[in-house]
Amino acid sequence: MIHMQEADKEFLDILPTVEALALRLQKTTLNEISYGKGELNIRVARHSIGEVRSFSSPPAPPVEDDAPAPLPSGASILSPRVGFFKSAAKGEQKALVQIGDLVAEGQVVGIVESVNLESNIEATVSGRIRSILLDDGMPVEYGQPLFVVDTEDQ
């Protein structure tokens, strides 16, 4: 019986993230996409043909406004997995929810697509959608806030 080594297991754990980054890179004119979380750092780059030149540039000055914008108050609906946010069901143009819509706990409010697999994003609370925090097609991380819901306005 062949036992999978620890490095192989770790690779299989991050494979969906690598594939999602490669897919995203393929759909853009970018040459490289990097992703980091904790000790995990992934870099996906296009294969280039021709001479590769290396150069060093001075470090960029620190940006003072690196802190993420604070979330609006209310309950957050979080991403169930890593992938790309979709506001509409496959084949539909109309978003599943819009700002101001009332949602019930368990209602599908969006979709996360990863490696051609779609996972429903379900409302974890009932209330009114106050904010949709990203645009259609944007990459999302596991546990990232996607929607803000006013739970008092039902």
Q: Residues 32, 81: one domain?
A: no
Same domain? 82 vs 132: yes
Q: Residue 2's pLDDT is what?
A: 47
Residue 144 resides in a domain:
yes
Residue 121 belongs to domain spanning: 75-150
What CA–CA distance (Å, rounded) separates 91 from 142?
25
Q: Which amino acid is at 106?
A: G
Residue 43 — pLDDT band, cuts 50, 70, 90?
confident
Q: pLDDT digit string (tens) for 66-83?
A: 555 555 567 899 999 999
Looking up residue 144, the CATH number of its domain turns out to be 2.40.50.100
What pLDDT does 67 receive? 55
Instruction: Give me the pLDDT at residue 128, please.
Output: 94
Find, among 68, 65, 108, the residue nearest to 86 by Cα. Answer: 108
State pLDDT tens for residues 69-124: 555 567 899 999 999 999 998 888 899 999 999 999 999 999 999 888 899 999 99
Query: How many helices and strands (H and E) does the chain possess?
Result: 1, 10
79/37 same-domain check: no
Do residues 91 and 130 both lie within one domain?
Answer: yes
Is there a domain that residue 55 lies in?
no
30 and 86 inside one domain: no
Please check whether residues 14 and 79 belong to one and the same domain: no
Instruction: For residue 146, give the nearest of 74, 52, 55 by alpha carbon.
Output: 74
How many domains does one find in the chain? 2
114 within some domain: yes
Same domain flag for 39 and 101: no
Do 148 and 71 form a contact (C-beta atoms < 8 A)?
yes
